[in-house]
């Protein structure tokens, strides 16, 4: 799964995600937890940034608490799972990130790792979004992050990993004109392990209340 990630925007954010006329101020968040409101990128001729809440609420849901169970969508079943299948067809997005955290079970307890790409500061998770309305008609935009099987780097740490899109595939993923499920599902594969790095970090990341760049510092548990 992916239950925590970091987002540290740089000055090249707009160029990197081909965004024009961005209005939102993008602030760093070193410990993004479910329920947080974060920027996602959607295609709307051209791309635009929208702020959405992490934890997808399907448009048809009667109870918004479903979002606690929908922070992630499995790539293997996303096309058929009721909570995600409509969003998979029509409402795909990019979730910008700088890295993500995962916890490895050991005899000394769970040890947190920070995982990132070696050669780039920002990348995109494959995401889905939906628009839910409450009883008063107020809209709430929410998103989920796709997960897949682990690559060789992630396998010793956890049995799932988020789908990190290749930059050349990002445009296809958010293009509303692409609706072939086979083509879309082919993008949801483990990112090459040799392009990634993982290292242990402080257990301070366990609490979402902690949010500073110190969380990214390596910590030796030996």
| Enzyme catalytic residues | 2, 102
Residue 187's alpha-carbon distances to 7, 46, 76, 152, in angstroms, are 22, 22, 12, 18
CB 95 within 8 A of CB 49: no
Helices (H), the chain: 13-16, 85-90, 167-174, 181-185
Which residues have CB under 8 Å from 96's CB, separation 6+?
A: 7, 9, 13, 17, 39, 40, 41, 122, 123, 124
């Amino acid at each position: 799964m992916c239950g925590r990630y970091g987002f540290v925007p740089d000055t090249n954010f707009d160029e990197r995600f081909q965004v024009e006329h961005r209005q939102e101020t993008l602030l760093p968040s070193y410990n993004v937890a479910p329920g947080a409101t974060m920027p996602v990128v959607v295609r709307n001729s051209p791309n635009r940034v929208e702020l959405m809440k992490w934890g997808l609420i399907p448009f048809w849901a009667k109870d918004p608490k479903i979002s606690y169970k929908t922070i992630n969508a499995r790539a293997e079943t996303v096309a058929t799972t009721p909570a995600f299948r409509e969003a998979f067809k029509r409402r795909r997005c990019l979730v910008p990130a700088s890295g993500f955290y995962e916890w490895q079970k050991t005899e000394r307890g769970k040890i947190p790792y920070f995982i990132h790409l070696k050669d780039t500061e920002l990348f995109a998770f494959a995401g889905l979004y939906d628009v839910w309305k409450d009883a008063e008609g107020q809209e709430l935009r929410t998103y989920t992050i796709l997960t897949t099987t682990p690559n060789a780097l992630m396998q010793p740490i956890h049995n799932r990993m988020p789908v990190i899109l290749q930059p050349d595939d990002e445009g296809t993923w958010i293009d509303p004109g692409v609706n072939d499920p086979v083509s879309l599902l082919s993008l949801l594969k483990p990112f090459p392990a040799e392009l990634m790095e993982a290292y242990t970090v402080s257990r301070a990341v366990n609490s979402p209340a902690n949010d500073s760049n110190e969380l990214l510092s390596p910590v030796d548990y030996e």
